[in-house]
Structure 1
Amino acid sequence: MKKMLIVYQLRAREFDNALLLKTIFENNGYIVSIKNDADTFCLFEKFDFIIWPCMYDNNQFDTLSYRFNSCGVPSISMRYEQIFTKHDEDTGVMAPKGKAQDIPTMNWGIADYNYCKMNGVPDKNLSVTGFITLDYLRPEFSGFWYNRDDIADRYNLSKDKKWLLFISSFALADNVEVAKTLYTYQEGEDAISISDLNTRSRKEILEWLENLILDDKSYNIIYRPHPAEKSDINLFSDLKKKYPNNFHVIPELNIKQWILTTDIITTWVSTSITECYVAKKHCLVLRPEPYPQKYDIVLYKDGKFITNYDEFKLEIENSSKQKDFKENFPISSDILNRYYDISDTPTYLRIVNEVEKHINDNPENEINRAQWLIKRWKYLIFKGYILKIYLKRIYQFTHKNFHFSIRDARLRKKYAIQTWEDEAVNKAFNKNDEENKLKKLKSMVNMYGNIK
């Protein structure tokens, strides 16, 4: 049997998708492994095909390929980020470059297909498959998700209160260094101002959420931080202490789980508004300050935004009364349909067909194995990846078992120590979560036959 590897980056964003593909491919006779790109590697394990989370440039090609592709087998990219700013689209900065253009790439919609093609990716390496994460919102997956009671018990949430979800996108709040990397352009735009906008907007939205609690104690506020957002800041700690029964910061679980379970959904600039649209759940877009159009996500062009607390409170009170879902949705369905190809054929089946096409027809991907192995070992040794990963594992072990913790703020920020600690603490839950979800998916495959 052929062996396949699926590599993922962010658990909350990608892991459920990897589990679905694993289930389908195993039902088709493959042996499938799933590994995280940040905390593991494959020294000697061999695969016949690899699915990457994304592939942007030579550096990422080398980093992923030399760590996981032990003998240079063919691969394909899921390209997990395909919704960008107007500036990103105009400059082509987020398109695959260099060796990454040689990796077949799956596009969510015609917009990204054209974007990649215009920026040099060969047409033969592009295919529109749709976005697999939206498959989980299809009716046949209704039994996959935890119910409200399960989540309430897990996170100590009141079952009787109204659940209000805020989907955060404040990755750059108090994070000037990352902002400088993303927003330093030839036009001389001030990267610090983008980080400051994140910081100010988050502060004001948190004030709105606090005011809502003060006005009405019947709300459970669930703040879902962005994966790159620091979740141990004082702003969160203070609110959790003041309102332990009303304010919760929860980074775990797939965002679709929260969208399907909560009563009211709000966001600032998250692309997860697409999941709200497909799930037919209304979403309020909170914008205390205008976002520079040049740097705004393209989905939000000409959107309907809430700009002050009084308007926010009124919209929440009226949210249950709105009749026409599409008419009241804050962003354009025409724009959404250009970026997401939503078809009667599930994306996971389109991905399976695309992957098997490349597995069965890849004469161009033949490489000199000996040459590849020499380059690979030189890269792993000189970059020190093996040592770095084992140091991370040692730290997580000592943190979980002996409560050791790095206190230095600079180190915690540089190495995302909070994420390491969360992974260690949640390891048992994540393992149980994985087993439960695989069991459900396998049952669905047995019942529906690849869930067609």
Structure 2
Amino acid sequence: MYDVLILYEHKNREMESIILLKYELMRRGYKVKISSVYKFKKFSELNINANVIVNFCLYGDVELNRYIYEFYGNKNKILNLQWEQVYANERTYEKRIPSGNAKNAVHICWGKKQYDLLRACGCKNAMLTGPVHMDFLKPVFRNWYLDREKIFAKFGIDSSKKTLIFISSFTTFYKTDEQMKDIQRFFSYDVFKFRELSINSRDKILSWFERLAKDNKDVNIIYRPHPGEIVDDKLKRLCSENSNIYCISEFSVKQWICSCDVLLNWLSTAGVEAFFAGKTEIFLRPFELEESMEYDMFNSACKVYDYDTFVRYVKDSNLIDQYYKDHPRDEKILPYYLNDDGYAYLRICDIIEKMIKTEQYTISYEKSYRVGRLKKYFKEYVKIRLCKGKEKGSIICNKIISFKPTIETWYNDQKRILNAEYISPEEEKLMLRKLDRILKKQK
């Protein structure tokens, strides 16, 4: 029996924060387990029991059923970290408001805008804590990240050169029409038009990077893919043909923000992490976004629309600094992100502790999902055994899969995701030890 089970989706986006929560909860004497929602070898977890389940998102009963009820049974103490809380416009916000039984879970809010919206829409357990991932940019954690020389040495990057980091948010260019139809429900604008704009913008930005890298050998460019982005052959080829262009997924985006000289963006909310780190950034917009696609908090950001202006800003960082002196971002960003002297992780752990000790935040459920979930995971277990049998040379397994090749496609996709998103026990232990060293020094 665990006191708390924390479920995560994207390793590099969530790992630091959820391990920090685990550390603090363990320090308070609670038993905590962290688990990936993508981990498909989870049959040993079917009987895991936890008092409180912390999920990565909760828009409605779809997520409640898929990630919690169907796997762990009917649980009534659920906290939603909600790793996406800033959207392009008011209509998109309306589409992301928790609905159904999910509305009654505890919802963590980064800023007052999200808090006020959820409260007004009947989410009585919305809690304003601030963004836990920004805690790592506060004074207590000033020694958390590797210094520039160490992190660059890990990837063979010359730290004496000016280094640009591009924080990518191109997560739709590779999606199928069916996948786009599925996500349309979350957006007020035309996602197909957005996909086309993403494809064109990405192609143009990559061409800018290639030209800049060839003409300026004293400059490094790091392409930081979004956690949900597929690194395609085009990007791989760009890196292999240019020794000063790198594609790096490892480590958190904050590690790279703190280590690089110039920050580049297209439409990533990680731009806010640059703000909290005291760094300025350039938004690359070779094609203008429709108003409905733009984040309000980025309306006053420094944007460039052509290659020559891009190069001018890269070569003279004073131009970027001067721009933000003339166009401060505080008023745009702070409604979405609480920024005070406190620490979000402590506030969240206080809430979890209260959930463990009381029945104040329980939600009701109407039916049991046990039969359905066992049936679902038995089917997945069979598919896994068939694919593993084929890998070992089983003629029977090979024959069965030949009649239904989608089984192997599913298996390979799950393996790829698991390799990219799984937090190993060794990584967890290392981070817990590092947190212990840092936080004990502060005391």
TM-score bin (small chain): 0.7 to 0.9
Residue matched to 1:115? 117
What is the aligned partner in structure 2 of residue 312 from structure 1? 310
Paired AA for residue 114 in structure 1: D
Aligned to 2:395: none
Which residue identity lines up with residue 360 of structure 1 in the other structure?
K
Task: Identify the residue that residue 59 of structure 2 maps to in structure 1.
Answer: 56
Cα contact 1:322–1:328 (8 A) shared by 2: no
Match of 2:308, SS? helix
Tell me whether 320-329 or 198-207 shows the greater mean CA deviation: 320-329
Counterpart of 1:182, as a letter, is I
- Counterpart contact for 1:167–1:267, Cα < 8 Å: yes
Q: Do the aligned partners of 1:12 and 1:254 also contact (CA within 8 Å) in 2?
A: yes
> Alignment partner of 1:96: what SS?
coil
**Structure 1 residues 143 and 307: CA distance shift in structure 2, 3 A:** same
Alignment of 1:303-342 (within 5 A): 303-319=301-317, 326-327=324-325, 332-342=329-339
Does the residue aligned with 1:316 lie in a helix, a strand or coil? helix
1:181 aligns with 2:173: no
| Alignment partner of 1:358 is 2:361 | no
Q: How far is 1:325 from its partner?
A: 8.2
8 Å CA contact 1:47, 1:73 repeated in 2: no
Cα–Cα, structure 1 residues 219 and 431, in superposed 2: closer, same or farther, change >3 Å?
farther
CA distance in structure 2 between the aligned counterparts of 1:393 and 1:164, rounded to whole angstroms:
45
Match of 2:157 in 1: 157
Kindly provide the amino acid, as one letter, of the partner of residue 192 in structure 1. F
Shift of 1:142: 2.0
Match of 2:284 among 283, 286, 295: 286
Listed one character per residue, the Cα deviations across residues 410-444 of structure 1 (whole Å, up to 9, x for unaligned) are 979x85957843743797x9554433221110122
Are 2:40 and 1:45 aligned?
A: no
1:381 to 366, 371, 374: 374
Bigger relative contact order, structure 1 or 2 (CA pairs below 8 A, ≥6 apart):
2
1:349 counterpart = 2:349: no
Unaligned runs of 5+ in 2: 392-400
Where do residues 398-437 of structure 1 align in structure 2 (5 Å cutoff)?
Answer: 420-421=415-416, 423-424=418-419, 432-437=426-431
Could you tell me the TM-score, scaled by structure 1's length?
Answer: 0.84
Contact kept? 1:74, 1:365, Cα under 8 Å: yes
Amino acid at match of 1:279: A
Matched, 1:206 2:206: yes
Name 1:193's counterpart in structure 2: 193
How far apart, in 2, do the equivalents of 1:170 and 1:367 lie?
38
Q: Deviations over 1:348-395 (max 9, x none)?
A: 111122222222231562869xx86xx23212134x235437856997
Q: Which position in structure 1 is the counterpart of 2:138?
A: 138
Please state how far the C-alpha of 1:22 moved relative to its aligned partner. Answer: 0.7
From 410, 427, 439, give the equivalent of 2:433: 439
1:181 Cα deviation after fit: 3.2
Deviations 1:228-258 (A, max 9, x none): 2221x23112212211x21111122211111
Residue 141 of structure 1: CA displacement?
Answer: 0.9
Deviations 1:319-346 (A, max 9, x none): 15765685266x7321211000111111
On the 8 A contact 1:146/1:257 being kept in 2, the answer is yes
CA contact (8 A) 1:184 1:190 kept: no
| Native 8 Å contact 1:166 1:223 kept in 2 | yes
Two-structure CA RMSD over aligned residues (Å): 3.2
Share of identical aligned residues, percent?
Answer: 25
**Secondary structure, aligned partner of 1:365:** coil
Structure 1 SS opposite 2:130 = coil
Q: Which amino acid aligns with 1:346?
A: Y
Residue 366 to residue 230, structure 1, CA distance change in 2 (3 Å): closer
Q: Contact 1:89/1:115 (CA < 8 Å) preserved in 2?
A: no
The one-character-per-residue Cα deviations of 1:239-296 (angstroms, maximum 9, x if unpaired) are: 12211x2111112221111111112110100000110001011111111111111122
Corresponding residue for residue 402 of structure 1? none
Match of 1:65 in 2: 68
Structure 1 stretches lacking a partner, 5+ long = 400-405
> Residues 223 and 246 of structure 2 are in contact (CA less than 8 Å); yes or no, is this contact kept in structure 1?
yes
More displaced 10-residue stretch of structure 1: 151-160 or 311-320: 151-160
Question: Which residue of structure 2 aligns with residue 217 of structure 1?
Answer: 217
CA contact (8 A) 1:264 1:283 kept: yes
Q: 1:395 and 1:305, CA in 2 relative to 1: closer, same or farther beyond 3 A? A: farther
Distance 1:388 1:110, change over 3 A: same
**Is the aligned partner of 1:297 residue 2:319?**
no
In the alignment, the residues of structure 1 paired with residue 363 and residue 329 of structure 2 have an alpha-carbon distance, to the nearest angstrom, of 45
Q: Which deviations, in whole Å up to 9, do the C-alpha atoms of 1:47-86 show, x marking residues without a partner?
A: 1222111111111111122245346241211111100121
Distance verdict in 2 for CA 1:51–1:171, change over 3 Å: same
Shift of the 213–139 alpha-carbon distance from structure 1 to 2, 3 Å rule, reads same
Please identify, of 293-302 and 48-57, the stretch whose mean Cα deviation from structure 2 is larger. 293-302
Partner AA of 2:5 in structure 1: L
SS in 2 for 1:48: strand
